């Protein structure tokens, strides 16, 4: 079926027809794509030309690439030869669809073009690369294709290889021998292009390990002879991908993993490998593995024999791995290193992860590969989180990717539960709207009242229509045991592997004593006091909230007059923050009760 017709009829591409849960392909995203401004290197670059995109977080190497608008990542491929790929899809450089107009047929989308390369002094060159359709993304169809082109001596681009769309399979290698004078020139260039559906994040192709060099003997093209990491470093946390430092501190044994699973692939290289990791707080080394010695020696046989290598016994993680003098938020840089043979390609021998401890809990890695929704009016989703100490819930972050059918005018009830099983206990509900952000940014829903939570709580929504709200779904990390939905027949775990992109923000930091720009005047007296206060304001219909310096709401009253007498005899002696709020602004004052 033509994909445009499919979109026109169903709007989204669902992976299931029988369930109320619906997974849809993204029409926008990834967060951004790497762009190289056209800047030519004089006299061409010399051989060998090698790029395996293992430096994907740093962008395309301008010493190798003349132009490009591909997505560099390690999240879309399955079992790449080396960590990092260049992904081709139907999105432009800004992560937006090339064309939403359904009358426009599939066409050329992304391009990746090399710098000029000097091949004038050799008689034969070889060119090879690895490719995979789909991965965990969208499969390109038969009318879609990935194309390799060479530029000849006359400046014309000629197709050297073309592959039609298919479902995901293991990465395959393609080899081209270059032995004609048309291409053995000092300003040779090659480029990849894809034909795709231009209306969204469709038709994924992943390219890995491009190599161009002088051809000496057949062994030049038989294997990579390289050992590499396969995926990005996993979180060191056992439950969350990220969590607040204040909830990790003093609970390290509970929250940190005992062991890590780091996958390494040997592409017919030396089997003797050294491994280590280092953890840094800023520039200070705070942890090293192994605890004795510089590195751990392991034997890693070829991928064709064993597949990806996984450590046995696993890599151990000490409960005191993370230590810092910071009291609130902190980030650690974790450096994983493998020591490989002298001829190994070294750029894929080190991976670095930043382990953040900020003010939010998250199960996701920040990148959505799909969107999740439920097509039932009144449906609910509830995401379980667990606090290690009482804390104040400040806000909820959600990522709603922009889809073809925008739902930003459809309200839903943002809901917090203390329990959903024994008794469905709603402790907060606020009507809000989906908010579509650019470049994968989360939208922050600030709660209109603050309250303290203890232990387990649930964050989610109750729908007011049967429209798909389409929350971002991270398909690389799985949190299904904490993802619950209810369409009227009881709570069940989500059947689709992944992690919803919903993050609660907690903090016991005092409320900021700032005022908004408005004509809302607010005074309270006497101050200090031990019995009553008077609040004088020029606005009617206000809510007065009393917070401890830890942000805990302890008292709340509504006032309707300009001068109001409020008893505070029920408040223990302490310093409080008094918030006066109406539908226009908020004001804050300190109050000392003795």
**What's the token pair of residue 113?**
């073009």
pLDDT attached to residue 437:
75
pLDDT of residue 183: 98
Least Cα distance to 81 among 21, 145, 128, 17 occurs for 128
One fold for both 229-357 and 522-593? yes
Q: Which two tokens stand for residue 215?
A: 């051809």
Report yes or no: 311 and 261 within 8 Å, Cβ to Cβ: yes
What's the pLDDT at 285?
Answer: 95
**Cα 211 from Cα 48, distance rounded (Å):** 7
- Per CATH, the architecture of 370-506 is what? Sandwich (2.60)
**The pLDDT of residue 524:** 87
Predicted confidence at residue 19, as pLDDT, reads: 55
Is the C-alpha dihedral spanning 487, 490, 496, 502 positive or negative? positive
Q: At a CB cut-off of 8 Å and minimum separation 6, what does 276 contact?
A: 288, 289, 290, 294, 295, 296, 336, 337
Q: What angle do CA 458, 461, 462 make, to 5 degrees?
A: 125
| Residues forming beta bridges with residue 351, ordered by sequence position | 336
CATH ID of 27-222, from 2.160.10.10, 3.40.50.2300, 2.70.98.60, 2.60.120.260: 2.60.120.260
CATH of 229-357, one of 1.10.1750, 1.10.10, 2.60.40, 3.30.160: 2.60.40
Where are the chain's structural domains? 27-222, 229-357, 370-506, 522-593
* pTM flag (> 0.85): no
Q: How many residues does the chain have?
A: 594
Query: 353 Cβ partners below 8 Å, 6+ apart?
Result: 232, 233, 234, 235, 333, 334, 336
pLDDT of residue 552: 66
What are the residue ranges in the chain where pLDDT is below 70?
1-19, 29-32, 35-37, 100-105, 404-406, 438-439, 508-520, 549-552, 583-585
**Cβ-based neighbours of 224, under 8 Å, separated by 6 or more:** 81, 82, 209, 211, 267, 268, 269, 345
Residue-wise pLDDT for 422-473, tens only, equals 889 999 999 999 988 766 789 999 888 888 899 999 999 999 999 999 999 9
Query: What gap in Å lies between CA 98 and CA 271, rounded to an integer?
Result: 45
Given this model, what pLDDT does residue 43 score?
Answer: 73
Distance CA 19, CA 370 (A): 17
Spatial strand order of the sheet with 499-500 comes to 21-24, 370-374, 471-474, 499-500
| Whole-angstrom distance, CA of residue 481 vs CA of residue 38 | 48
Q: Which two tokens stand for residue 460?
A: 């989610």
Cβ-contact 520, 585 below 8 angstroms: yes
Whether a cis peptide bond, with omega within 30° of 0, leads into 48 is: yes
What are the pLDDT digits (tens) for 294-340? 999 999 999 999 999 999 999 999 999 998 887 778 999 999 999 99
Sequence-ordered strand ranges (E) for 74-119:
85-88, 107-114
CATH of domain 522-593: 2.60.40.10
């Amino acid at each position: 079926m033509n994909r445009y017709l499919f979109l026109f009829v169903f709007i989204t591409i669902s992976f299931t027809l029988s369930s109320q849960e619906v997974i849809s392909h993204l029409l926008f995203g990834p967060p951004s794509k790497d762009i190289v401004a056209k800047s030519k290197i004089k006299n061409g670059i010399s051989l060998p030309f090698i790029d395996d995109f293992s430096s994907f977080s740093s962008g395309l190497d301008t010493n190798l690439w003349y132009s490009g608008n591909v997505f560099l990542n390690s999240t879309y491929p399955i079992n790449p030869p080396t960590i990092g790929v260049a992904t081709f899809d139907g999105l432009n450089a800004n992560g937006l669809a090339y064309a939403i107009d359904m009358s426009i047929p599939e066409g050329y989308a992304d391009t990746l073009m090399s710098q000029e390369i000097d091949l004038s002094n050799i008689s034969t060159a070889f060119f090879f690369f690895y490719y995979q359709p789909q991965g965990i993304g969208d499969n390109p169809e038969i009318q879609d294709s990935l194309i390799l082109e060479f530029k000849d001596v006359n400046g014309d681009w000629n197709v050297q290889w073309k592959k039609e769309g298919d479902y995901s399979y293991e990465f395959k290698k393609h080899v081209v021998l270059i032995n004609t004078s048309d291409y053995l020139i000092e300003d040779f260039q090659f480029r990849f292009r894809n034909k795709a559906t231009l209306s969204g994040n469709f038709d994924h192709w992943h390219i890995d390990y491009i190599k161009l060099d002088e051809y000496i003997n057949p062994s030049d093209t038989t294997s990579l002879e390289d050992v590499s990491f396969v995926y990005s470093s996993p979180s060191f946390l056992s439950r969350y991908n990220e969590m607040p430092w204040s909830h990790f501190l003093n609970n390290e044994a509970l929250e940190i993993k005992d062991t890590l699973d780091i996958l390494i692939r040997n592409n017919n290289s030396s089997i003797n490998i050294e491994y280590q990791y280092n953890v840094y707080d800023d520039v200070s080394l705070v942890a090293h593995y192994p605890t004795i010695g510089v590195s751990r020696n392991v034997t890693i046989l070829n991928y064709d024999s064993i597949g990806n290598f996984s450590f046995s016994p696993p890599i151990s993680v000490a409960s005191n791995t993370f230590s810092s003098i910071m009291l609130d938020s902190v980030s650690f840089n974790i450096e994983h290193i493998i020591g490989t043979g002298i001829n190994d390609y070294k750029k894929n021998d080190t991976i670095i992860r930043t382990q953040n401890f900020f003010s939010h809990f998250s199960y996701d890695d920040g990148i959505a590969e799909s969107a999740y929704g439920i097509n039932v009016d009144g449906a609910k989703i509830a995401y379980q989180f667990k606090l290690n100490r009482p804390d104040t819930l400040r806000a909820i972050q959600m990522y709603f990717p922009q889809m073809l059918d925008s739902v930003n005018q459809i309200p839903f009830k943002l809901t917090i539960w203390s329990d959903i099983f024994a008794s469905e206990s709603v402790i907060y509900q606020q009507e809000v709207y989906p908010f579509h952000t650019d470049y994968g940014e989360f939208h922050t829903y600030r709660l209109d009242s603050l309250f303290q939570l203890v232990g387990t709580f649930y964050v989610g929504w109750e729908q007011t229509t049967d429209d798909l709200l389409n929350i971002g779904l991270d398909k690389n990390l799985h949190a299904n045991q904490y993802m619950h939905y209810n369409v009227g027949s009881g709570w069940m775990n989500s059947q689709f592997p992944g992690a919803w992109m919903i993050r609660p923000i907690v903090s016991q930091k005092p409320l900021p004593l700032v005022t908004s720009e408005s004509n809302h005047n607010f005074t309270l007296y006497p101050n200090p006091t031990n019995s009553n206060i008077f609040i004088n304001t020029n606005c009617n219909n206000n809510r007065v909230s009393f917070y401890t310096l830890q942000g805990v709401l302890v008292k709340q009253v509504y006032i309707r007059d300009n001068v109001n007498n409020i008893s505070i005899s029920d408040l223990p002696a302490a310093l409080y923050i008094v918030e006066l709020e109406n539908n226009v602004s908020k004001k804050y004052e300190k109050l000392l009760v003795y």
